[in-house]
């Protein structure tokens, strides 16, 4: 989060970008393997994983985030336009090589590309 604050990018974001950023960082934290540099992780969580109102997704001790899928979609799209997240589609879990039940977005966080503002 330090790079995001130091770059002053955070001050320009609305609720969708901030929500998507927080969700992306939580998804990165719970991904396997975890990245060695925060803000560079890959993940393929369904957007319903974040609020998980019905407890369908594990693990139970992870934090729930009460963001709507529509807000996260808008935020992810905006962060992608800014070059801070990218995605492509997958049908196979990259870790287990098993087929997924459907096509998923495979996200790559690129928050490490932010540079501290000289001000």
User: pLDDT tens digits for 82-105?
Assistant: 999 999 999 999 989 999 998 999
Say whether 24 sits in a helix, a strand or coil: helix
* Pick from 4-13, 64-73, 106-115: least confident: 4-13
On whether residue 109 sits in a domain, the answer given is: yes
Q: What pLDDT score does 10 carry? A: 84
Task: Output 5 or 103, whichever has higher pLDDT.
Answer: 103
Dihedral sign, Cα of residue 26, residue 32, residue 38, residue 43: negative
- Measured distance CA(90)–CA(105) in Å, rounded: 6
Q: For residue 90, what are the domain limits?
A: 2-113
Q: What average pLDDT does this structure show over 61-86?
A: 95
CATH number of the structural domain spanning residue 100: 1.10.10
Say whether 70 sits in a helix, a strand or coil: helix
On whether residue 53 sits in a domain, the answer given is: yes
On whether residue 119 sits in a domain, the answer given is: no
Greatest extent of the chain over all pairs of C-alpha atoms, in Å = 49
Q: What pLDDT score does 118 carry? A: 65
**Extended beta strands in the chain, E state:** 42-43, 85-92, 99-109
Q: What is the pLDDT of residues 8-45, one digit of tens each?
A: 888 899 999 999 999 999 999 998 888 888 899 999 98
On whether residue 39 sits in a domain, the answer given is: yes
On whether residue 46 sits in a domain, the answer given is: yes
Total number of domains in the chain: 1
Nearest of 36, 54, 46, 35 to residue 104 by alpha carbon: 46
On whether residue 87 sits in a domain, the answer given is: yes
Kindly give, in sequence order, each residue whose CB lies less than 8 Å from that of residue 26, ignoring residues fewer than 6 positions away. Answer: 50, 62, 63, 65
Q: Could you tell me which residues are beta bridge partners of residue 88?
A: 106
Q: What pLDDT score does 6 carry? A: 75
Q: Cβ distance 23 to 44 under 8 Å?
A: no
């Amino acid at each position: 989060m330090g790079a995001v604050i130091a770059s002053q990018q955070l001050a320009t974001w609305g609720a969708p970008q901030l929500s998507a950023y927080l969700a992306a960082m939580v998804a990165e934290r719970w991904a396997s393997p975890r990245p060695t540099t925060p803000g560079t992780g890959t993940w393929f969580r369904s957007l319903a994983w974040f609020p998980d109102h019905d407890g369908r997704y594990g693990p139970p001790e992870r934090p729930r985030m009460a963001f709507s899928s529509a807000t996260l979609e808008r935020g992810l799209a905006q962060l992608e336009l800014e070059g801070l997240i990218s995605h492509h589609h997958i049908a196979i879990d990259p870790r287990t090589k098993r087929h997924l039940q459907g096509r998923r977005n495979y996200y790559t966080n690129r928050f490490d590309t932010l540079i501290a503002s000289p001000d």
